[in-house]
Amino acid sequence: MNNNKNIYFASDAHFGLPDPAESILRERFFVKWLESIKEDARELYLLGDIFDFWFEYKRVVPRGYTRVLGKIAGLTESGIPVHFFTGNHDTWVFDYLPAETGMTIHKEPGSAEIEGKKFYLAHGDGLDENDKGTLLLKRIFTNRPLQRIFSWLHPNFAIWFAHKWSHNSRYSKEQIIPYRGHDKEEHVIFANRMLEKEHFDYFVFGHRHIPFDVPLKNGSSRCINLGDWLWHFSYGVFDGKKMEIKKFDGDTRDMTSLSGK
């Protein structure tokens, strides 16, 4: 790998939750992590739900997130490519984020070959063909006429409503289900099915909110979930030879405050 630099991965920060005060604490912590990796980062992949809600009106963007957006812009301006794979909470990214921050936006799952290793990259929602509810929501959120109708709502109401709905449906530790086993985890099942068609060394996802790294049926590939920046403060790093999940320690006092421990 060039100059012994690393590839970094993160997902599911859900900035905006549960309220502006705590969100700013987590944003500052995330920015500390970005600052800590900038000297040895070759690329950064953000695999969705970095924002709990994001919608770009033609002349209005969501309030806040200046610390994170400024730091990402600084990374791209220094020559570090940042790839943003939209998630189910921040799927409504249009032209503002790439123009202002320099990020490359990916609306669909993608792949990358790094140092001879092949990566499958996606946020990870909607992979289960039998999950009709999730697939229906995904079709609704990506429907252009419905996006246009939503844009007619006043931002004060629309953004309030979106955060309220998200808070009620997601922000609960009890809703983070522990690892269910290789035969029941949606991402693992999907990865094993994909391997029947095409080889990948690493499948890297977000969405699930728990960090895990498990071997797949072929014995050589692995399925990795990055965890989140709500409770785990975890990320992935590939050094050209191996991929690992790590936890950002930062200031231990900050970690204690944010994790509620």
Sorted by sequence, the CB contacts under 8 Å of residue 23 that are 6+ apart come out as 15, 16, 17, 64
pLDDT of residue 82: 98
What are the φ and ψ backbone dihedral angles of 69, each rounded to 5 degrees?
A: -65, -40
Using the CB atoms, write b or e for 127-147: b if 16+ within 10 Å. beeeeeeeeeeeeebbeeeeb
Average pLDDT for 32-53:
95
For position 250, what pLDDT does the model report? Answer: 77
CA neighbor of 49 nearest in space, from 206, 246, 167, 179:
206
**Contact assessment for residue 65 and residue 102, using Cβ atoms and an 8 Å cutoff:** no
User: What is the spatial distance between Cα 121 and Cα 104, in angstroms, rounded to a whole number?
Assistant: 14
What average pLDDT does the segment 110-131 reach? 89
* Three-state secondary structure readout of 182-227: CCCCHHHHHHHHHHCCCCCCEEEECCCCCEEEEECCCCCCEEEEEC
pLDDT in tens, 16-40: 888 888 899 999 999 999 999 999 9
Q: In Å, how far are 25, 47, 242, 245 from 192, measured between CA atoms?
A: 38, 20, 20, 20
In order of 21, 156, 159, 200, 227, the CA distances from 64 in angstroms are 11, 14, 12, 38, 24
Per-residue pLDDT band for 172 (boundaries 50, 70, 90) equals very low
The CATH number assigned to the domain holding 123 equals 3.60.21.10
Domain hosting 107: range is: 2-259
Decide the pairing of beta strands 110-114 and 6-10: unpaired
Q: Are 119 and 204 a contacting pair, CB within 8 Å?
A: yes
Locus of tokens 């509810």: 133
pLDDT of residue 174: 43
160 vs 13, more confident: 13
Average pLDDT over the chain reads 85
Average pLDDT, integer, range 148-156 = 68
| Arithmetic mean of pLDDT, 62-68 | 88
The mean per-residue pLDDT over the stretch 93-100 comes to: 90
pLDDT of residue 148: 72
Q: How many domains is the chain partitioned into structurally?
A: 1
Cα–Cα distance, 145 to 57 (Å, whole number): 14
Q: What is the band of 2 on the pLDDT scale with cuts at 50, 70, 90?
A: low
